[in-house]
Copies of this chain bind each other. A is one copy, B any other.
Amino acid sequence: MIFSIIVQAPPVQAQGAETALRFARAVLAAGHRIHRVFFYRDGVHNGTALTCTPQDENSIPAQWQALAAEHDLDLVVCIAAAVRRGLIDESEAGRYGHRHWNLADGFELSGLGQLVEACLTSDRVVTFGGRS
């Protein structure tokens, strides 16, 4: 079956990001395909390259990166939600005149159309939310 996963929960403050990650691993372990993971709202912070995590804690963004590299996952971060929150790639940094950027490798900024396309293309869409 083809799954897509929507993550609206930020790492650290809410558990939803970690639950989504475990769910994604289980989907793949069961032999299903993940068409896309779409990060929306404060969930865009899953795509940061700049976490500095204590050695005994897991970095959620790094775990997404590792999973994506292993399984060739499409990790899409909602561009409108991201740039408002200060999560940008090199291209957006150039457009807005910022010297720095912070989108982690393996993530891609794109529009909400990718969310809609994922709904149409996937057999199952599963959302992991925060609260507010």
Contact = CB atoms under 8 A, between A and B. Distances in A.
B131 A50 contact: no
A85 B45 contact: yes
| A interface majority secondary structure | loop
Interface in A5-20: 10-14
B131 A52 contact: no
A88 B14 contact: no
Contact of A84 (B49, B51, B84, B96): B51
17 contacts: A10-B85, A11-B85, A12-B42, A12-B84, A45-B45, A49-B98, A50-B87, A50-B88, A50-B100, A52-B84, A52-B92, A53-B83, A100-B100, A100-B101, A102-B102, A130-B132, A131-B131
